[in-house]
Amino acid sequence: MGLTKQYLAYKPVSSFNIIASARANISFVTISNATGRYVVVAAAEKVLVWDLRIGEKVAEFCRDKQEVTFLRTSPDQKHLAVGYSDGLVELFSVETKQSVCSFASHRSAVSALNFDLLGLKLVSGGLDNDLVVSDVVEQSGRCRLTGHTAPITQCCFMQRFQDVVVSSSKDTQIKFWNIETQCCFKTIVDHRTEVWGIVLMRNDDFLVCGTADTQLSVYKITPITDATVPVVVASEQPESESTVSPFRCTAAGSIQRAGHGRTINLVADANGQVLGCHGTDRQIELFLFCSPEESMKKLTKRMKKLDTNKQSAEEPASRQLALTDEIKRLTSIPTPEKVKSFDLLLGSRNELRICCTFVKNFVQLFSLDLNVKKDAEPETLYALQKQGHPSEARTVAFSSDNLAIASGSAESLKLWSRASQTVLRTVDTGGYVVSTCFVPGDRHVLVGLKTGQLLVVDVVPGEVIECIEAHEKELWSIVLTPDKHGCVSGGGDTTVKFWSFELIAGSGGQDAAKVLSLLHKNTLKLEETVLSVRISQNGKYIAVALLDTTVKIFFMDSLKFYLSLYGHKLPVLTMDISYDSTLIITGSADRTIKIWGMDFGDCHRSLLAHDNTVTAVQFIPNTHMFFSCAKDGKLKQWDADSFQKIITLPGHLGEAHALAISPNGKYVVSCGSDRTLRLFHRTEEPLVLQDVQEEEREELENATLATGEESTVPGLPGLKLPSKKTIGSEKGAENILECLEVSKQYEEEGGKGPLPPLMFAYSATNTDDFLLTVLSRIRASDLEESLLLLPFNAVCELLERVPKLTTERKDQTELICKVVLFLFRVHQKPIVNNQVLLPVIQKIVQTLQAAVGELRDMVGTNFHAAQMLQRELEENDGCVLFRDATKQRIQRDRRRKRREASKRKLLQIVK
């Protein structure tokens, strides 16, 4: 088939402007052994690592078009777990920036993540009310814990008690789970409102939880040993609970917060010494949990005071440790805005560092010296706020040389470098920017505000040189005249005003350099609010979109009425005229784009373009192709001659507000409610419409699972796997079935002749290698779901091949064991009732037991041989290998760093 028309593909370059998303949390991360300098934050669908000292982005982690909802670094700082809005948890390597594995855990957004003490297990909580425990080493889920009736707010592992998970939820309950038995053995139901956060302090001695009131509840956790005789009090749980739970959890009191409103977040440092919390106000409250020795000292002092006051006999309860002895309130940290999330880091010199993210898209790092006993003042070390707009960008524009981008938000105008996506200038506009336009020469930018003012901004110094009261209401649209000698503005006061550029003398007198100014020439009065204005390139017509859903076209020279374009059901918010002045396109709030002829005002075609209000349309220069964006977040390219959609670009996570195309047509930039500016560039890759449409159909089909959402097995109605069904698991099941079918057909032919094409593609020489290659290529987190989709006859076929596989491929013993054990567990009843499988099962048991024993012997032999070699080397060389040498090197490095730190000057950067 020959190409009738060739289009070139646009591909995303990058997204910028966003410093930190408000939905996800912030966390310290260690890079190159530097602690307290780097923070990791979410930025829409990306995860960014910022160097706070120099204020630059040093790393980026990407998956696909899903918003990041939670992130957590592993205890050894080598891995980063990221939870997404589609319920998937991705594990990245901090060093290589690549994905290590992924867990399809939840059916909705991930709301909590936490590693265990060694970083070998990961627990995640979601908005689907479930907890999932995943094995990081095995790269698959271990168990799914169900019991909460509302979204999970926090979950964490206990350190002193193995395989115990604590979780809190909006159902007002705190639950303790045992991973081995997969059941809840203790529930705290003391609260009447949602539990928004929990944290374990001082090596699991205390459990602190925050609710919708201004108090933090504190629970004392004491282990139950054989020597402990449980004392039953009327208010406590019955004694039978102590036989199930390895510890006793009793209410110890509450901490009264100084802030107002509900507790939003609770965070503790890695050692559980310092607790931080914040509510709906502008402060972070800090509490120090004293060590047992310090607590006893406080109790001793208090008892001395009681003895001097002769109250000890009257108050025997005061002789015991109280919360006031064990918890000390630290200096609160005032913040410039309401805190969205924060993280704590306690240094070796008792320096507490707190990094915070705010709704207004900036990050701040505070420091507090805990060595100062009283009145320690927190100081601001670094702030990241110049790298992005504090609020959503509402308008964008390209300069005439394609090198600069102007974006306007509720309080400022920013100029960006298109090549590096960095901020060049920031101009405080003092008002809400709704329209922007570069003046010819790119030295000045015209800015229209919501108040109706028209600002002239000088790019070089980044200053507003003139403020003109252009309109009484919103200045919705600014457009240059074709001769570049002036501009036209349309506003909410039902007028269209014509302006000419003038150079006037500066404030320094006649010798001063001349500055740009606007001279008002004419006014066109209309009946309705003006939403958009465009001028044809031949300078003959001016089109005005009105609030009454019509577009009126006037002659440019006489301002006489020429045409009225009516047909939209809702107001036209945006429009554009082609380069040859023959076509005009209009985008409306009724989700349609209409293509009109300029000669007679006839509608060539009406396109149902988007799923929501169309916010911007613009022609690609010197073509009849155009881009559109809408509140559904999508960017689409269209052909106005053939009325076909060319391609849909990956758009914004929320609404798309505006777009701009560079004068050379090579770049497209858009802004949206996810606070990102997204840049696309035109490649040399040709597009064929049929191929693009086929790819979009495939994506739509892949988005809906062919086998349904639920994993159902006959006889197991309550099956709760720690994973969910994905496209990968369906493809894995298809590959296994195809492999079994091809292998059976090849063996029936005698196993002679040419290899089947599929086996040749997998580089397999026999059917056993073929099956093992197919199984090993299925992602570890999808393997169980893939096996679950197999019909029982395929399961029997697979089991019949296991004895031969086990004896011939002992290097894959672990994978074979995993497959066999899962199939036995899921299909136990039909396998037991099938008499044909009895000899197969006996053979499987024998071969697998022998293979596992052989593997265990080999691992043990290698382990003890390595230990023996180590001992021999230590005896011969007279030195201790590895452990002690590593400790000595770490101590030397610490001493060197302390010497260097004492020589360096402390810099304080306040922006």
- Among residues 586, 607, 629, the one where a domain terminates is 629
Domain of 828, in residue numbers:
727-837
Tokens of 114: 């936490």
Does 504 share its domain with 625?
Answer: yes
- Among residues 143, 162, 182, the one where a domain terminates is 182
**Residues 627-637, mean pLDDT to the nearest whole number:** 94
Helix/strand/coil (H, E, C) string of 239-303? HHHHHCCCEEEEEEEEEECCCCCCCCEEEECCCCCEEEEECCCCEEEEEEECCHHHHHHHHHHHH
Residue 696, Cβ neighbours under 10 Å: how many?
A: 13
Tokens of 271: 């050692």
Does 587 share its domain with 461?
Answer: yes
Q: Residue 397 has what DSSP assignment?
A: E
Residue 219 domain-assigned? no
Does 604 share its domain with 741?
Answer: no
Spatial contact of 220 and 254, defined as CB atoms under 8 Å apart: no
3-state secondary structure of 39: strand
| 891 pLDDT higher than 50 | yes
Residue 382 domain-assigned? no
Per-residue model confidence as pLDDT tens digits over 477-525: 999 999 999 999 999 999 999 999 998 877 655 556 778 899 999 999 9
Q: What pLDDT was estimated at residue 906?
A: 41
Domain count, the chain: 3
Does 451 share its domain with 562?
Answer: yes
Per-residue model confidence as pLDDT tens digits over 785-809: 889 888 889 999 999 999 988 888 8
Both ends of the chain: CA-CA distance in Å?
A: 61
Q: What pLDDT was estimated at residue 316?
A: 53
Spatial contact of 675 and 393, defined as CB atoms under 8 Å apart: yes
**Residues 277-299, mean pLDDT to the nearest whole number:** 88
E strands of 459-514, at which residues? 463-469, 475-480, 486-491, 495-504
Does 622 share its domain with 732?
Answer: no
Beta-bridge partner residues of 65: none
Per-residue model confidence as pLDDT tens digits over 844-864: 889 999 999 999 999 999 999
Spatial contact of 91 and 709, defined as CB atoms under 8 Å apart: no
Residue 275 domain-assigned? no
H helices, E strands: number in the chain = 12, 57
The contacts of residue 227 (CB under 8 Å, 6+ apart) are: none
**Residues 896-911, mean pLDDT to the nearest whole number:** 52
Cα gap 870→881, rounded to integer Å: 7
Tokens of 733: 């099941």
Does 570 share its domain with 421?
Answer: yes
Write out the H or E segment, with its range, that includes residue 446.
strand 444-449
Cα gap 463→444, rounded to integer Å: 10
Q: Residue 713 has what DSSP assignment?
A: B
Strands 603-608 and 592-597: antiparallel
Q: Residue 385 has what DSSP assignment?
A: -
Does 608 share its domain with 741?
Answer: no
Tell me the Ramachandran region of residue 644: left when phi exceeds 0, alpha when psi lies from -120 to 50, beta otherwise.
Answer: beta
- Phi, psi at residue 832, to the nearest 5°? -65, -40
Residue 484 domain-assigned? yes
Does 468 share its domain with 604?
Answer: yes
Spatial contact of 165 and 179, defined as CB atoms under 8 Å apart: yes
Cα gap 449→505, rounded to integer Å: 26
**What is the pLDDT of the chain when averaged over all its residues?**
87
Residue 591 domain-assigned? yes
Q: What pLDDT was estimated at residue 178?
A: 93
Residue 359 domain-assigned? no
140-144, 183-187, 302-306, 783-787, range with the lowest pLDDT: 302-306
Q: What pLDDT was estimated at residue 862?
A: 94
Residue 855 domain-assigned? no
- Among residues 837, 870, 903, the one where a domain terminates is 837
Q: What pLDDT was estimated at residue 702?
A: 73
The distance from CA 502 to its chain's CA centroid, rounded to whole angstroms, is: 48
Does 621 share its domain with 735?
Answer: no
The enclosing domain of 132 has a CATH number of: 2.130.10.10
Residue 334 domain-assigned? no
